Amino acid sequence: MPTFLPKLHALFGATGLLIVLVNWSATVVTLIMGDKYVIAMAKLTIAWGLLALIPMLILAGLSGNRLGQRMRGPLIAAKRKRMKIIAFNGLVFLVPSALLLVPLAMQGQGGPVYYAIQSIELIAGATNIALLGLNMRDGMRLSRRMSPS
């Protein structure tokens, strides 16, 4: 296995987590500000950000699978389980929400449909932030175990 793969995996995972965290924070801040133009720009930026986020999470998943191919144990099992939830949240809730909210925000619509979708996006995003953070923590624990002492 290439010696640089753990570092790449950490980079992909950290970048994915950072993008999700920035998107979630931007959503909260712009909603608090209440400016429809700023909300619309944030939603458009988040939608375009999917072009960076999706490859990062795919690369983190692929590199993680490669790294964990021969590994067993509770940390690996937990990371795999979390990644399934993260992927499900992303595909079922986050990506569709991000894409549905752009036209609604651009039209200045902030009615019940918008806020229902926005609530789903915030809950799924917070869940993924927590799960990605736990995976990062467990990944650092695993890397300490694997490094030569």
User: Over the stretch 58-89, which tens digit does the pLDDT of each residue have?
Assistant: 999 999 999 888 888 999 999 999 999 999 99
Tokens of 20: 């999700």
What band does 1 get if pLDDT is binned at 50, 70 and 90?
low
Q: What is the rounded distance in angstroms from the CA atom of residue 47 to the CA atom of residue 78? A: 29
Give pLDDT tens digits for 3-21.
Answer: 889 999 999 999 999 999 9
Domains of the chain: 5-146 (1.20.120)
Evaluate if residue 148 carries a pLDDT over 60.
no
Q: What is the rounded distance in angstroms from the CA atom of residue 83 to the CA atom of residue 68? A: 13
- The proportion of the chain whose per-residue pLDDT surpasses 90, expressed as a percent, equals 80
Among residues 1, 147, 134, 110, which one has the least CA distance to residue 66? 1
Give pLDDT tens digits for 18-60.
Answer: 999 999 999 999 999 989 999 999 999 999 999 999 999 999 9
Residues 6+ apart with CB under 8 A from 43: 27, 98, 101, 102, 105, 106
Predicted local confidence at residue 111, as pLDDT? 86
- Count of all residues that appear for the chain in the document: 149
Q: What is the rounded distance in angstroms from the CA atom of residue 140 to the CA atom of residue 145? A: 9
